Amino acid sequence: MDTGLSRRTFLKSATIVGGGLVLGIDLFCQKVSKQQTPSQDGSFNPNVWLRVDKNNLVTIIVAKSEMGQGVYTALPMIVAEELDADWNAIKVERALTHPDRYGSESTGGSTSVRTLYSTLRKAGASAREMLVAAAAKQWNVGAAECTTENGTVAHTSSGKKATYGELVDIAATLPVPDAPKLKAVSDFKLLRKKAHRTDTPSKVDGSAIFGMDVRVPGMLYATVARPATFGSTVQSFDAAKAKQVPGVKDVIQSGEVLAVIANSTWAAMQGRDALSVVWSKSEYENQSTETMWKQFEETAKSEGDVEKNEGDATDAFQNAAKKIEAIYYTPFAHHATMEPMNCTVHVRDGKCEIWAPSQTPQDAQREAADILGISVENVIFHVTLLGGGFGRRLETDYVAEAARVAKNVNAPVKVVWSREDDMKHGFYRPAQYSMLRGGLDASGNPIVWMHRIVGPEGKGLLTHASNPPYDFPNKRIDAQALDTGVPTGAWRSVGASQNGFVIESFMDELAHAAGKDPFEFRRDHLSTSPRLKRALELVAEKSGWGTPMPKGRGRGIACVSGFGSHVAEVAEVTVDSKNNIRVDRVIVAIDCGPYVNPDGINAQMESAVAFALSAALKDEITIEKGGVKQSNFDDYRMFMIDDMPKVETYIVESDDMIGGVGEPGVPPAAPAVCNAIFAATGKRIRKLPIKL
């Protein structure tokens, strides 16, 4: 359950700052600091996780990015639970980005809760013990005789009570506990129970600040000229017509960034349209989706780098009683965040201030410092709310180009991407070509698994594929990465989205070839994956697996482990006489170990299903003449509200290792739907997006 945080890494400090108790934890713990130094204005240096003020307000510091996934709720819940704070008197504050004070501030890989779970529990428990000790000292009673609840300490036998705010002065003078006692699960009052989202009120009343909402006095706007072809750069440009556009202030070139500066976003974009730019030739200008698939197919004729080789897969396949072979295709996919890329930067007096919706603010902070030639300490980085991330904002390109622009502008400047910029110049989920071979013995048991993968250079080619969970005595997995010119990046669930689709679809093919039920076939060969098996059994039970379906309807199943969690899904699908596909219902079972907010998990599973099915049924980025063909939501269609199936989520009660919940719900959705289509129609889907 502990995420690897040693006692040495639990840095403790307490001091009165601005009339409150501050408790800090340094995740790296190179040395122990005995107190924090308040700044001259009475505020505190934010290397702390919580503050209790004299007015009883508990401020909890969050050093992760909120992009709709709920960390502004889940992380404070962990602290508040062990602190026994009043949840209605909680204030959530986003930490100012620091190079190392909070450890990694990167928000991706479904890591936020699982990496901070133990740390924040200890933070809350230490503060609670200090407040109890303060009350005991004030009342001259034993600490063991005192209890805490809703931000108060009580001495039962005498009836004395004190709020946390009344105790902070004394608490700040006391030693910090070396090993605070954590609550038993049975004593939880907040964790594992539904809690309201702390960021909802500000989003409802409009006071929430996303990157696009940032306004700085004297701010100008900019937009960047971008080539139609990957790999092209600016050869020359004529800014005369652009400068004639009303509102345009200047046209600047900084390195490879060519930007139009204006007094509004609209003027900047109109000015960019009026620019005359000569772009360099690109080696990728003849690249297309068709040429890429041919390149992948040709490459797959020879073996790549062998990732796994167990038993003798070649011999086992040759001697298998039944042989099954298939080719699967998954296309490039885009993140398509609702909020396009944007970043506001102000450079002045050897310092820089940045406002950006970033998943990796520390990386962006360092890159901006390098571009500007200043120290990281002189880059003040404010992380706003994110209007969607999904891995796109793990990249720092949009911050880096804004820093380059602002370096040449004597004013704060906001660089804004259009939807077309965003669609054509992202970092895409890699396309992938998968060649599979499987073999069964005479009894229908799987004896060999062979998987060859070819795809672009980038992240996630072998994610989930390198170690399939099923009991195959003979396995051989190899992969080759090729330069396609298309920028690739982490897309929600990374390579598990492609490989989950491929593996779980092919497992269904093997089950059908063996003449066995797809659920039972999986269950019977998960001996080394007990948690995934448990989720699979729960989803089968909750979905009514095995009960008959009407004509034209099918039920499919899939299960994938990833990001420390184990998820199984069943999809119920209707296919009408015109081959129109309707996903009616998706049942999800997740084992994520100790969990925080079940309502948050439900929301994450629902959003994962929507995200995955949007890609499976609608989305595809295609390449034409070395660039992305799609430009907006008219030709890169997203799931709409009337497309959404009913989603039911069931959480496996587990005290095993804690896992993430943001991404694990994505990979099983597409194969569950494709397997349901096969059950309804007898047609196998081996290429996404789904077409019948």
Residues 406/259, Cβ–Cβ less than 8 Å: no
175 pLDDT band, cuts 50/70/90, is confident
Q: What is the pLDDT of residues 59-82, one digit of tens each?
A: 999 999 999 999 999 999 999 999
The predicted pLDDT at position 456 comes to: 95
Poorest-pLDDT segment among 131-145, 162-176, 223-237, 378-392: 162-176
Q: Are strands 305-310 and 14-16 parallel, antiparallel or unpaired?
A: unpaired
For residue 6, is pLDDT > 50? no
Calculate the average pLDDT of the chain.
Answer: 92
| CA 162 to chain CA mean position, Å | 41
Residue 328 has pLDDT above 50, yes or no: yes
Q: How confident is the model at residue 19 (pLDDT cuts 50, 70, 90)?
A: low
The reported pLDDT for the residue numbered 21 is 63
Note the pTM of the prediction, 2 decimals: 0.93
Which residue, chain included where needed, has tokens 């996934």?
Answer: 69
Q: Is 366 helix (H, G, I), strand (E, B) or coil?
A: helix
What distance lies between CA 155 and its chain's CA centroid? 44
pLDDT of amino acid 28? 31
pLDDT beyond 60 at 490: yes
What pLDDT is recorded for position 531?
98
- The model's pLDDT over 82-131, given as tens digits with 9 standing for 90+, comes to 999 999 999 999 999 999 889 999 999 999 999 999 999 999 999 999 99
Supply the angle between the helices 112-139 and 164-171 in degrees, to the nearest 10: 80
- Strands in 305-310's sheet, in edge-to-edge order, are 305-310, 474-482, 446-456, 432-440, 322-330
Q: What are phi and psi of 525, to 5 degrees?
A: -130, 35
The residue with tokens 């219902």 is 585
Pairing of strands 581-591, 646-651: parallel
- Give the single-character DSSP code of 638: -
% of the chain exceeding 70 in pLDDT: 93
Instruction: Evaluate the omega torsion of the peptide bond into residue 227 and state whether it is cis, within 30 degrees of 0.
Output: no
Residue 49 and residue 25 in contact, taking contact as beta carbons nearer than 8 Å: yes
Rounded to an integer, the average pLDDT of 230-235 is 97
**Alpha-carbon gap, residue 529 to 69, rounded angstroms:** 27
Task: Give the lowest-confidence range in 161-175, 317-331, 568-582.
Answer: 161-175
Quick one: which of 270, 207, 221 has its CA closest to 402? 221
Structural domains present in the chain = 7-204 (3.30.365.10), 211-281+341-416 (3.30.365.10), 289-332+428-681 (3.30.365.10)
The region that residue 373 occupies, defined by phi over 0 for left and psi between -120 and 50 for alpha, beta otherwise, is left
- Whether the Cβ atoms of residue 622 and residue 682 lie closer than 8 Å to each other: no
Diameter of the chain by CA atoms? 84
The whole-angstrom separation of Cα 454 and Cα 434 is: 7
Q: What is the share, in percent, of the chain residues with pLDDT greater than 90?
A: 88
3-class SS at 617?
helix
pLDDT band of 457, cuts 50, 70, 90 = confident
Using CA atoms, how far apart are residues 58 and 53, in angstroms rounded to an integer?
6
Contact at 8 Å (CB) between 168 and 16?
yes
Q: Which residues contact 36 (CB under 8 A, 6 or more apart)?
A: 13, 15, 17, 22, 24, 44, 45, 47, 48
What does the pLDDT look like over 199-215, one tens digit per residue? 999 999 999 999 999 99
- Angle ∠(80,82,87) on CA atoms, nearest 5: 25
Three-state SS for 110? coil
pLDDT digits (tens, 9 = 90+) for 280-304: 999 999 999 999 999 999 999 999 9
Residue 305: count other Cβ atoms within 10 Å of its Cβ. Answer: 10
Query: Is the pLDDT assigned to residue 492 strictly greater than 60?
Result: yes
Give residue 542's identity as a one-letter amino acid code. Answer: K
Answer yes or no: is pLDDT of 27 > 80.
no
What are the structure tokens assigned to 561, written together?
A: 């482990």
Dihedral (CA of 460, 463, 465, 467) sign = positive
Residue 10 confidence (pLDDT) above 50: no
- When pLDDT is cut at 50, 70 and 90, the band that residue 44 belongs to is very low
Q: In terms of pLDDT, which residue wins out, 414 or 36?
A: 414
Among 4-8, 557-561, 600-604, 637-641, which stretch is predicted with the lowest mean pLDDT?
Answer: 4-8
Q: What is the pLDDT of residue 640?
A: 94
- Residue 166, SS3 per DSSP: helix
Work out the pLDDT band at 609, boundaries 50, 70, 90: very high
> Does residue 7 register a pLDDT over 90?
no
Q: What is the 3-state secondary structure (H, E, C) of 503-564?
A: HHHHHHHHHHHHCCCHHHHHHCCCCCCHHHHHHHHHHHHHHCCCCCCCCCEEEEEEEEEECC
- For residue 454, the tally of other CB atoms under 10 A from its CB is 24
| Total residues belonging to the chain | 692
- CB within 8 Å of 418: residues ≥ 6 apart: 223, 269, 340
Q: Is the pLDDT of residue 428 over 80?
A: yes
Residue 458 pLDDT level (bands cut at 50, 70, 90): confident
Q: Which whole-number Å values give the CA distances from 644 to 540, 542, 573, in the listed order?
A: 21, 20, 12
Task: List alpha helices for 62-212, DSSP H.
Answer: 71-83, 112-139, 164-171, 200-205
505 compared with 178, residue with greater pLDDT: 505
